[in-house]
């Protein structure tokens, strides 16, 4: 397999060279942010750190973290470092967990973003000749437009189909010959269901690669997507605060880890409890510092995503560090009777049970002083039986597997197909009804 | 000969059974026999209908999980001890009953027993050897 690079020099730079670029950019960033953004200056003063204290990459740890609340407190534009007339675009989060967070871009930031996204597409094997089906939502969400500009930068053909209307999406795939699909992994499965209903064999389509992101998904879900859509499924990572999609992308050589555009986004892994930086290879919360962004740079932004950095060289030749698939969030972590539970772990169990569909819902409640967890699982024809005993054994089996993996006893409720809400974007996997 | 039975997964919530029967009625599908097995969490509706494939298709189209299984229909005289004779012979052959249900035909002379056995072929051979009448789907629908 031939490997395509978008920016070969940067992507294969020896670490020494890369680190020297990172340090130069970091010094410049910290000085600029200290000078121009009052909230940053206040936090750095409080921590007793001055821009000139940054002499090596290790000095990064001296700088205070930035968290989502800092963005909210300075809503909407308080953390921008350039005058608004230089900001050519803004995006915003949906604000589902509070006030929306707003991010801004200068013309150069859009350039940077397009380039890292083009790099991600290349990393997944896309080239100029590809028909790229972009089913990420267009609008204030960074997914759609972020990917779109990358596709155009790459020189491939963008199909800006956005999310929703699965039937139409599939007809477009068929008629236009889409070769690369960009969407959330749960929407990809939604499309697979729709193909099934339309009696369209994915093998009759031209899809070759899928680039899936914007929500955590497991390895078993990858297999499911690959089997049902007849394509190679790769993982992409990004978040609007850092830039949007294109922060990191899995290459075609390994199924372990996404190459981070480290020349733009400097990663760290910290202990989410103590904030201390963890040694290479350890698992913890992912933190990013944007090295090149102009309008809205972030210093040590806590993503709440749980991952691990992989420094071992990759066979694809890229020297850029890899981040492991995000296995959970520090904030979607459920604590059930004192036990930490990630929905992705429950998903992993369910996909290990033959015939079980990856559509599930975790309902957490509190009865008296005791937390209860119910896992709703859709009964497909693959697992259905006309014998009560068989279905009851299935529930017991799932219950046992979850207990074995998580140490939590849950109730498994079998529900009718399509009763768990399908989403066009991020799937909702948890309903927490506890009032604590 | 075995009879095809369709089974439908039901969540325990009101109106689901009504919905299924309405769908079947709209499609002119006649139910010859049915039973519902229920647990605290879900139910399984088992049906013998005149148009099996069509019933399966329309229920699927309406979002139900539908399965198809083979059952055995045994006709006995509607007299005291009819079922007991069948079960005695099955017990002696060492065969387990997974589930069963029964109905009486229009004339009231005969009863039809629908069985799902652990070992279907063996059960059928045993019952035939003992001289029991095994009905086909056509026969059930014609009753």
ipTM of the complex: 0.87
Contact A379 B9 (CB under 8 A): yes
The tokens for A399 are: 């219950």
Contact A416 B69 (CB under 8 A): no
Nearest Cα residue in chain B from A197: B61
**DSSP track, A247-302:** EEEE-SS-SS-EEE-TTTEEEEEE-TTT-PBPPTT-EEEEEEEESS-SSS--SSEE
**Burial class of residue A7 in the structure, from the number of CB atoms within 10 Å of its CB (0-12 exposed, 13-18 middle, 19+ buried):** middle
Beta bridge partners of B75: B112, B133
pLDDT value of residue A307: 94
Please name the residues in contact with A83: beta carbons below 8 A apart, sequence gap of 6 or more: none
Q: Is B88's pLDDT higher than 90?
A: yes
Nearest Cα residue in chain A from B45: A386
The continuous run of DSSP H or E covering A346 comes out as helix A343-352
Nearest Cα residue in chain A from B68: A386
Query: CA A39 to CA A69: how far, in whole Å?
Result: 12
Pick from B132, B127, B116, B129: nearest CA to B5:
B116
Q: Per-residue b/e over A232-253, b at no fewer than 16 CB within 10 Å?
A: bbbbbbbbbbbbbbbbbbbbbe
The tokens for A370 are: 């005791």
Query: To probe the interface with A, which of B41, B52, B120 has the most A CB atoms within 10 Å?
Result: B41
Nearest Cα residue in chain A from B100: A387
- Residues from chain A that touch B67, judged by Cβ atoms under 8 A, are 381, 384-386
On the CB side of A89, how many CA atoms lie within 13 Å of its CA? Answer: 18
Query: CA A412 to CA A362: how far, in whole Å?
Result: 9
On the CB side of A194, how many CA atoms lie within 13 Å of its CA? Answer: 17
3-state secondary structure of A184: coil
Nearest Cα residue in chain A from B70: A386
Average pLDDT per consecutive 10 residues, chain A (436 residues; last block may be shorter): 87 96 97 94 96 96 94 92 96 66 96 98 97 94 96 98 93 97 89 93 97 83 92 95 97 92 98 94 96 97 94 94 87 75 86 82 84 90 90 94 87 88 74 77
pLDDT value of residue A96: 45
CA distance B109 to chain A (A): 30
Query: CA A388 to CA A396: how far, in whole Å?
Result: 12
Nearest Cα residue in chain B from A418: B63
Out of B5, B37, B65, name the one closest to residue A381 (CB). B65
**Burial class of residue A311 in the structure, from the number of CB atoms within 10 Å of its CB (0-12 exposed, 13-18 middle, 19+ buried):** exposed
Contact A384 B65 (CB under 8 A): yes
Contact A388 B44 (CB under 8 A): yes
**Burial class of residue B14 in the structure, from the number of CB atoms within 10 Å of its CB (0-12 exposed, 13-18 middle, 19+ buried):** exposed
Contact B67 A381 (CB under 8 A): yes
Cα dist from A418 to A22, A200, A290, A347, B62, whole Å: 49, 20, 41, 17, 10
- Residues from chain B that touch A384, judged by Cβ atoms under 8 A, are 7, 9, 65-67
- Residues from chain A that touch B12, judged by Cβ atoms under 8 A, are none
CA distance A381 to chain B (A): 6
Q: List residues in chain A touching B: CB distance below 8 A.
A: 379-381, 384-389, 391-392, 395, 413-419
Cα dist from A308 to A12, A18, A324, whole Å: 21, 20, 5
pLDDT value of residue A98: 53
Helix ranges, chain B (H): 16-26, 52-61, 82-92, 120-129, 137-142
Residue that is written with structure tokens 């989403």 in the block: A423
Pairing mode, strands B42-49 and B3-11: antiparallel
pLDDT value of residue A95: 53
In this predicted model, what pLDDT tens digit does every residue of B55-83 receive, in sequence order?
999 999 998 999 999 999 999 988 888 88
Query: CA A401 to CA A421: how far, in whole Å?
Result: 24
Query: CA A100 to CA A300: how far, in whole Å?
Result: 20
Contact B11 A418 (CB under 8 A): no
Helix ranges, A124-231 (H): 142-154, 166-172, 185-197, 219-229
Kindly indicate the confidence band of residue B14, based on its pLDDT and cuts at 50, 70 and 90: confident
- Please check whether residue B52 is in contact with residue B113, taking contact to mean a CB–CB distance below 8 angstroms: no
Out of A392, A414, A418, name the one closest to residue B63 (CB). A418
- Please check whether residue A158 is in contact with residue A106, taking contact to mean a CB–CB distance below 8 angstroms: no
Contact A385 B64 (CB under 8 A): no
3-state secondary structure of A119: helix
The tokens for A139 are: 């609008």
Out of B5, B16, B65, name the one closest to residue A417 (CB). B65
Out of A392, A417, A418, name the one closest to residue B39 (CB). A392
- Residues from chain A that touch B39, judged by Cβ atoms under 8 A, are 388, 392
Out of B16, B46, B64, name the one closest to residue A386 (CB). B46
- Residues from chain A that touch B44, judged by Cβ atoms under 8 A, are 386-388, 391
pLDDT value of residue A94: 60
- Residues from chain B that touch A357, judged by Cβ atoms under 8 A, are none
Out of B5, B9, B99, name the one closest to residue A384 (CB). B9
pLDDT value of residue A285: 96
Contact B37 A388 (CB under 8 A): yes
Contact B42 A414 (CB under 8 A): yes
pLDDT value of residue A219: 84
In this predicted model, what pLDDT tens digit does every residue of B19-38 receive, in sequence order?
999 999 999 999 988 999 98
Query: CA A46 to CA A40: how far, in whole Å?
Result: 10
Contact B7 A379 (CB under 8 A): no
Out of A381, A387, A392, name the one closest to residue B66 (CB). A381
Out of A379, A387, A395, name the one closest to residue B65 (CB). A379
């Amino acid at each position: 397999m031939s490997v395509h690079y978008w920016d070969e020099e940067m992507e294969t730079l020896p670490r020494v060279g890369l680190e020297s670029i990172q340090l130069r950019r970091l010094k410049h960033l910290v000085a600029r942010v200290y000078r121009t953004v009052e909230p940053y200056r206040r936090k750095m003063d409080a921590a007793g750190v001055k821009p000139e204290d940054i002499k090596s990459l290790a000095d990064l740890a001296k700088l205070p973290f930035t968290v989502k609340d800092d963005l909210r407190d300075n809503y909407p534009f308080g953390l921008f470092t350039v005058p608004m007339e230089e900001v050519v675009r803004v995006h915003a989060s949906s604000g589902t967990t509070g006030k929306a967070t707003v991010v801004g871009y200068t013309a150069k930031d859009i350039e940077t973003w397009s380039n890292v996204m083009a790099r991600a597409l290349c990393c997944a094997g896309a080239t100029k000749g590809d028909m790229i089906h972009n089913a990420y939502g267009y609008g204030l969400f960074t997914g759609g437009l972020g990917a779109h500009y990358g596709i155009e930068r790459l020189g491939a053909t963008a199909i800006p189909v956005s999310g929703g209307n699965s039937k139409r999406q599939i007809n477009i795939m068929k008629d236009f010959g889409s070769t690369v699909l960009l969407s959330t992994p749960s929407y990809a499965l939604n499309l697979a269901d729709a193909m099934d209903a339309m009696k369209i064999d994915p093998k009759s389509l031209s899809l070759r690669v899928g680039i899936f992101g914007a929500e955590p998904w497991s390895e078993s879900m990858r297999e499911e997507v690959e089997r049902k859509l007849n394509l190679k499924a790769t993982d992409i990572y990004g978040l609007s605060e850092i830039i949007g999609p294109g922060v990191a992308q899995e290459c075609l050589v390994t199924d372990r880890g996404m190459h981070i555009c480290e020349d733009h986004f400097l990663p760290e892994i910290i202990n989410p409890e103590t904030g201390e930086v963890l040694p290479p290879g350890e698992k913890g919360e992912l933190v990013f510092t944007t090295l090149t962004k102009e309008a809205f740079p972030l210093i040590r932004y806590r993503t709440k995503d749980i991952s691990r950095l992989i420094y071992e060289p990759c066979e694809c030749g890229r020297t850029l560090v890899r981040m492991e698939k995000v296995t959970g969030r520090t904030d979607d972590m459920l604590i059930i009777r004192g036990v930490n539970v990630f929905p992705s772990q429950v998903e992993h169990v369910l996909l290990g049970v033959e015939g079980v569909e990856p559509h599930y819902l975790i309902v957490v409640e509190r009865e008296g002083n005791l937390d209860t967890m119910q896992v709703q699982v859709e009964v497909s024809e693959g697992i259905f039986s006309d014998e009560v005993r068989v279905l009851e054994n299935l529930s017991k089996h799932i219950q046992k597997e979850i207990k074995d993996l998580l140490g939590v006893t849950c109730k498994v409720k079998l529900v009718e197909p399509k009763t768990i809400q399908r989403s066009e974007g991020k799937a909702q996997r948890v309903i927490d009804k506890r009032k604590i | 000969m075995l009879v095809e039975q369709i089974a439908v997964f039901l969540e325990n919530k009101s109106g689901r059974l009504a919905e299924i029967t309405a769908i079947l009625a709209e499609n002119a599908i006649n139910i010859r026999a049915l039973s519902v097995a229920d647990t605290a969490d879900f139910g399984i509706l088992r049906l013998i209908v005149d148009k099996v494939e069509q019933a399966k298709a329309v229920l699927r189209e309406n979002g139900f999980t539908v399965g198809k299984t083979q059952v055995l229909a045994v006709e006995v005289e509607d007299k005291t001890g009819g079922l007991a004779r069948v079960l005695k012979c099955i017990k002696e052959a060492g065969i387990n009953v997974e589930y069963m249900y029964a109905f009486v035909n229009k004339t009231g002379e005969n009863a039809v027993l629908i069985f799902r056995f652990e070992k279907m072929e063996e059960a059928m051979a045993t019952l035939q050897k003992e001289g029991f009448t095994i009905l086909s789907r056509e026969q059930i629908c014609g009753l």
